[in-house]
């Protein structure tokens, strides 16, 4: 399968580096806005972004970093995050993106797993005091000279850089460039031509539900092309302004946002450090944003804001919804109330840089609300059964992807890489999907999420789609709960719309006679919120664990 952009001849893949792409953007759109951080009151054009990125890159070289070394960024959305991203690319450093929600054990594992040489950290975010956390792991930092760390628990770490004021053992972010000499700047200029688009440039840790996180290692070619084609499908140009409330540490922000921007000349606009629906609405109105990104829970929150109607969102045209299944009623509201007539749905995974399927603005509306679109340009996909055989058209099976976007591998994990990417280069997603005769895909669940109740296979997505039709339901998550008699029983957690009312029996009654009896959830909980990741994905395994614990307590009474 090839492009889903109708009648179009696809451009070839980009075969230069991210650093080159930034230089080309500065050359082409130098005086145009490149980056706006609303919360920080900062606005830079493409020429300034390149100049500042190179100044930081030269400073990092002066601290002793070399191409191929790993540099971590542990911060919420801010201009310093993006400068670190592009400075690393210009110097050939591998950027390791660290979830702002990570706690001590997780950040210690990350630093040591990839052997970080340097870490850029925010001063704080929400309840996290990042320098204090690092110093708890390595108290000797406060007696160390900045740039010359020697700490037992983090043996590879040499430099700590703090966004904000310097403190003992830490360099201030704004001071790093002052360390560069003319020799460092000359060296930076010489490094660029030696970098290969196939070099590793980014490591993103996947938040698996079992086992330790894996570091998906991505190349310039992987993520630069993905950002370009995601932006192209939206029809982005230098006249577009992308509102990016999704986290930069995730591919959604740094690839689909930042790299789409520099390859199309669109503006990156960060409404706030973390997701805030009012900040999103203010940014869209004030900056006349034409595109908005988010996971479904973000769009739900924006649309539900009590003062939504006070904000002018008429400038919006397109954008991207990804990260979780989009319910059809939500998609219709995004088009009608947010004016996002050309909004696209994207599907993928970190290991595929991330997007492999995307709807197109000229797809029929029923396809845009009822599918994940068609496979992206220059990629192949197939649906296979548990024996690896391709299934008939329209039948469910595991979705596999092959092509430029498949990761180099999991960092220092050859066995786990081989379990996910087969000998023929196919990335096995673990997602259950169908692809119809016209090439449109649909995700019907996770291989591990499929519920088998009394011998009947149930895909939670199907039940969720039905429950979204209930007028009181704002959001829903369906999981399987172990059951001695049936093997598994269905459980639905339901979040109601503001002011709406419904109880568990009303939800079950809504299902009876409308879906097969074995798909009617035995357990229904009306809840105020779902456990989610920082990117807004519902963590179903936590719902499952909470329900199992609740049921065990009830049985013990």
pLDDT tens digit sequence for 501-526: 999 999 999 999 888 788 899 999 99
Q: How far apart are CA 447 and CA 138, in angstroms?
A: 41
DSSP string, 68-104: T-EEEEE-SSSHHHHHHHHHHHHHTPEEEE--TT--H
CA geometry: angle 495, 497, 502, nearest 5 deg:
70
- Residue 207 pLDDT grade (very low, low, confident, very high; cuts 50, 70, 90): low
CATH number for the domain whose boundaries are 451-556:
3.30.300.30
- Out of 143-152, 175-184, 198-207, give the one with best mean pLDDT: 175-184
- Residue 326 pLDDT grade (very low, low, confident, very high; cuts 50, 70, 90): confident
CATH number for the domain whose boundaries are 214-446:
3.40.50.12780
pLDDT at residue 534, rounded to an integer: 66
Residue 265's φ and ψ, nearest 5 degrees, are: 80, 10
| pLDDT mean across residues, the chain | 93
| Total residue count of the chain as it appears in this document | 557
pLDDT at residue 186, rounded to an integer: 98
More confident residue, 539 or 93: 93
- Residue 7 pLDDT grade (very low, low, confident, very high; cuts 50, 70, 90): very low
Region of 455 on the Ramachandran plot (φ > 0 left; ψ -120 to 50 alpha; else beta): left
Q: How far apart are CA 497 and CA 482, in angstroms?
A: 29
Does pLDDT of 2 surpass 60? no
pLDDT at residue 443, rounded to an integer: 87
Pick the CATH number of 18-195 from 3.40.50.980, 3.30.365.10, 3.40.605.10, 3.30.1490.20: 3.40.50.980
pLDDT at residue 501, rounded to an integer: 94
The structural domains of the chain, with segments of one domain joined by +, span: 18-195, 214-446, 451-556
Cβ contact 291:268 at 8 Å: no
- Residue 1 pLDDT grade (very low, low, confident, very high; cuts 50, 70, 90): very low
pLDDT at residue 8, rounded to an integer: 52
Which pLDDT tens digit goes with each residue over 227-251?
A: 999 999 999 999 999 999 999 999 9
Region of 232 on the Ramachandran plot (φ > 0 left; ψ -120 to 50 alpha; else beta): alpha
User: By CB neighbour count within 10 A (0-12 exposed, 13-18 middle, 19+ buried), where does 164 fall?
Assistant: middle
250: helix, strand or coil: coil
The reply to whether domains 214-446 and 451-556 share a CATH topology is no
Q: How far apart are CA 458 and CA 445, in angstroms?
A: 9
More confident residue, 27 or 537: 27
Does pLDDT of 3 surpass 60? no
List, in sequence order, every beta strand (DSSP E) within 235-334.
Answer: 241-243, 267-270, 291-294, 318-321
What is the layout of strands, in order, in the sheet containing 200-206? 171-172, 159-163, 116-122, 70-74, 94-97, 200-206, 214-219, 409-410
Which pLDDT tens digit goes with each residue over 413-455?
A: 999 999 999 999 999 999 889 999 999 999 887 777 778 787 7
Does pLDDT of 276 surpass 70? yes
Percent with pLDDT over 90 in the chain: 81
Report residue 109 as tokens.
């594992």
Does pLDDT of 4 surpass 60? no
Does pLDDT of 536 surpass 90? no
376-405: average pLDDT: 96
- Residue 211 pLDDT grade (very low, low, confident, very high; cuts 50, 70, 90): low
């Amino acid at each position: 399968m090839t492009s889903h952009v109708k009648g179009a001849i696809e451009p070839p893949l980009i075969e230069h580096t991210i650093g080159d792409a930034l230089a080309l953007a500065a050359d082409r759109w130098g005086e145009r806005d490149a980056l706006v951080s609303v919360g920080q009151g900062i606005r830079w054009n493409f020429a300034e972004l390149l100049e500042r990125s190179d100044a930081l890159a030269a400073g990092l070289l002066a601290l002793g970093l070399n191409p191929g070394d790993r540099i971590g960024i542990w911060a919420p959305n801010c201009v310093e995050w993006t400068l670190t991203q592009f400075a690393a690319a210009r110097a050939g450093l591998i950027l390791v993106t660290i979830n702002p929600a990570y706690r001590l054990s997780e950040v210690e594992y990350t630093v040591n797993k990839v052997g970080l040489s340097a870490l850029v950290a925010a001063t704080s975010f929400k309840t996290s005091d990042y320098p204090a956390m690092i110093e708890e792991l390595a108290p000797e930092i406060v007696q160390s000279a900045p740039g010359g760390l020697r700490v037992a628990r983090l043996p590879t770490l040499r430099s700590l850089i703090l966004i904000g004021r310097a403190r003992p053992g830490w360099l201030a972010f704004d001071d790093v460039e002052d360390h560069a000499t003319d020799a460092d700047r000359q060296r930076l200029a010489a490094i660029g031509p030696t970098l290969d688009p196939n070099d590793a440039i980014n490591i993103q840790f996947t938040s698996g539900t079992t086992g330790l996180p894996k570091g998906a290692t991505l190349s310039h070619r992987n993520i630069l092309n993905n950002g370009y084609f995601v932006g192209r499908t939206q029809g982005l140009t230098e006249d577009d302004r992308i509102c990016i409330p999704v986290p930069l540490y995730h591919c959604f922000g740094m690839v689909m946002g930042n790299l789409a921007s520099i390859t199309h000349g669109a503006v990156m606009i960060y409404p706030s450090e973390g997701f805030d629906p009012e900040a999103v609405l203010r940014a869209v109105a004030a900056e006349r944003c034409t595109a908005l990104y988010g996971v479904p829970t973000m769009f739900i929150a924006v649309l539900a804001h009590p003062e939504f109607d006070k904000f002018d969102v008429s400038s919006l045209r397109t954008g991207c919804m990804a990260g979780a299944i989009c319910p059809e009623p939500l998609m219709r509201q995004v088009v009608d109330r947010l004016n996002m007539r050309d909004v696209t749905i994207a599907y993928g995974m970190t290991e595929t840089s991330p997007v492999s399927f995307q709807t197109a603005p000229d797809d029929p509306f029923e396809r845009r609300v009822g599918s994940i679109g068609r496979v992206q340009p220059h990629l192949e996909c197939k649906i296979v059964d548990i024996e690896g055989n391709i299934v008939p058209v329209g039948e469910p099976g595991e979705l596999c992807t092959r092509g430029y976007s498949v990761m180099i591998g999991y960092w220092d994990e050859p066995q786990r890489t081989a379990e996910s990417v087969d000998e023929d280069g196919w990335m096995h997603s673990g997602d259950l999907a169908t692809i119809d005769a016209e090439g449109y895909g649909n995700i019907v669940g996770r291989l591990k999420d499929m519920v088998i109740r009394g011998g009947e296979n149930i895909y939670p997505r199907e039940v969720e789609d039905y429950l979204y039709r209930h007028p009181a339901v704002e959001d829903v998550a369906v999981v399987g709960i172990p059951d001695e008699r049936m093997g598994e029983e269905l459980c639905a957690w339901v979040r109601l719309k503001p002011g709406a009312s419904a109880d568990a029996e009303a939800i079950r009654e809504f299902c009876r006679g409308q879906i097969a009896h074995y798909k009617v959830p035995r357990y229904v909980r009306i809840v105020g919120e779902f456990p989610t990741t920082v990117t807004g994905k519902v963590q179903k395994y936590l719902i499952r664990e909470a329900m199992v614990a609740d049921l065990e307590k009830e049985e013990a009474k």
